[in-house]
Amino acid sequence: ETGVTQSPTHLIKTRGQQVTLRCSSQSGHNTVSWYQQALGQGPQFIFQYYREEENGRGNFPPRFSGLQFPNYSSELNVNALELDDSALYLCASSAGTSGITDTQYFGPGTRLTVL
């Protein structure tokens, strides 16, 4: 069983650009969540997808959007990048929908730098 993988590892963009980050969940995991982790802080929940539908969202603007695909892969898209979007972006997959008891398996993250 492979773990959660993310690509790319690092990425540099400039203000105003758009970025797509990718995540491959563990096989059989129907739920994927995305988090933003600024330097020195805990991860902040962006949104969660279950079976290709958004299933919960944190306090992030609409320019943060996502997609989940049937093959257990997912994307995080960020439009109109701002300097404050510089962070480590983490995805996590879990097997079910209960949320409150599901163990989440995190990927290593993508480090995004916005110049």
Q: Report the residue from 26, 68, 109, 112 that binds other proteins according to the rule CB under 8 A.
A: 109
Q: Is 66 helix (H, G, I), strand (E, B) or coil?
A: strand
59 binds other proteins (CB under 8 A): yes
- Choices 12-20, 56-64, 69-77, 78-86; region in contact with other proteins by CB under 8 A: 56-64
Rounded Cα distance between 39 and 19, Å, is: 19
- Smallest distance, Å, CB 18 to other proteins? 24
71 binds other proteins (CB under 8 A): no
Q: Is 30 helix (H, G, I), strand (E, B) or coil?
A: coil
Phi, psi of 85 (to 5 degrees): -80, -10
- Choices 11-19, 65-73, 76-84, 92-100; region in contact with other proteins by CB under 8 A: 92-100
Residue 93 token pair: 């997959």
